[in-house]
A and B are shown apart, each in its own frame.
Chain A
Amino acid sequence: MKFEVSLVLPCIILLLGMTIFPFFFCVYISLTNWTPPSPAGFVGVLNYVAALSDPVFYGNILRTLTFTGVGVATETVLGIGLATLLNRQFRGRAIVRSIFILPLAITPVVVGELWRILFHYDFGWINYFLRTVGVPPVVWLGSAQHALASCILVDIWQWTPFMTLVALAGLQSVPAEPIEAARIDGASDFAIFFRVTLPLMQNVVFVGLMFRVVDSLKAFDIIFALTGGGPGNSSQTLNLATYLQAFFYFRFYDSATYAIVLYLIVLIFTMIFVRAMRRMGIE
């Protein structure tokens, strides 16, 4: 028994130091009014009450859910579509696959800065091409209506390749026999895809979806680089607000409070996914 314990001991120590302790310390800070260098004073759940009575806080949560919902859904649909195309045999398939995956390899902050230039109203390429085809240019980042949409667009651009890879893995794990049988029975390509292929790959795609949802709920870097949460608060998500509270306003207690709330949101989604996975028979 001692031998087994010694094998997992390094992992336990790491977990305690890097995950468990910081988590409980965060909970502790959320129950205080700590602003360095002043000492912390215990305030109980006052910070949570203040957060829950702040309309901006609810706005942050709503924007987070919008960002995640729209972004991940689009990435999933596009990812499956692209995977279907990339699963076919054609010349140069490997090169094309590598090119499609490139956005995933770029650091999110660099992606944000890059798109900030592309989105520029006067000098950006996006508006240039829009003008070329006769579409009026759009105020992407400087408009409260479009700022969050712009962030979602960039997120889709960067993370669709991830869902493509996941869907591709799913597609390649689908056995050929059911598809052949369906074809022999006279099913159309459309019916084969939706009635045979998709159900067979759903387990793999579901796992990828779960990862993306959890990751998207915590999105920070792209939004920070693109808009910084502005104009106003129109693109501010909960994770960004957590950062701003700590490092802009130096209100560690509010930051910790937001972090715990975000953790609970992520936990709820994770539990939903795990339940769904059990029902689908995914171990």
Chain B
Amino acid sequence: MTDARLATRSHTPHRRLALYSALALALVAAVIVSACSGQLAIAPADVLGALLRAAGLAPADPTATVSDAALWTIRFPRIVLAVLIGAALAAAGTLMQAVFGNPLAEPSVVGVSSGAALGASASIVLGWTFWGEWTIAAAAFGAGLAATVVIYLASRAGGKTEVITLVLTGIAVNAFAGAGLAFLTFLGDTGAREQIIFWQLGSLNGARWQQVGVVAPLVVAGLAVAFLLARTLDLFSLGEKAARHLGVNVEAVRILVIVIVAVLVCAAVAFAGIIAFVGLVVPHLMRMVIGPAHGPLLAASVLGGALLLLVADLLARSLIPMADLPIGMLTSLVGGPFFFWLLRRTRLREGGWA
């Protein structure tokens, strides 16, 4: 009953609007700060100028060639990739939590991310190039989807997923994927090894427009379907039987959600590696502010995930001068303790592993 006081407060549309506005403003601010900072400091006016010049709305400026080049070849693709991947991971977490009926479900915790990383690494070490730029994403998708299906089948009983089963399944899947990655590291040459380690740590270093070109359509398509399903996902909270009594084709929606999660996670993992806990922390915080209804929750999580990853990436490349820290390390540093707290709280409140 300790939450009764909080719980009596209703979450009105005003509150949603306030949250959306705050997140959107913070996101714009983070984009500007992110574009300005780096080894070459660029003034906000020059960032705006670079955008206008590219759009043909401002005359060419020979003095800005260097900053324009830095922005368009290095910083802008990195910013866009961070926004896309943050949105994808947060949305994937929201979707998994809805379908598992469990606030602890998250792509990296349960092993979807490491499964996708295994697929991506296999395509590098084995030199697959059948679909060009899309090969890595396709391999990540295949392995990520397989991991999601395994987790789903292994951790469900009687229409819901116990926390303990989910976490243990995650340990098993992560262990298996870890073994696969270890084997590939052993198998690969020095270059491939470096890339695999990069995948496990997660980084947006070296983001290019071609990568954005692969990630963007996947994320946009995944999010579009996710938003269409959002209201239906609310009914999953009643349990599968009750959802079916209300006319929901539970099996079909569940399979669709699993595929979308795999698409979103593979888009995130394909070029940036494993960035953990975004899908856990973001939806949870948003749920605390605006409640669990999945339409607004998904929208807020997309904004919040983009913001979180952009800020994390900014920190990753500016905390230590001249060094680019792995972003996955940073998110895990914050997300690990958060997961611990959430696990404890869930356990205390539900009086067990509910």
Q: Do the two chains belong together in a single complex?
A: no
Interface residues of A (CB under 8 A from B): none
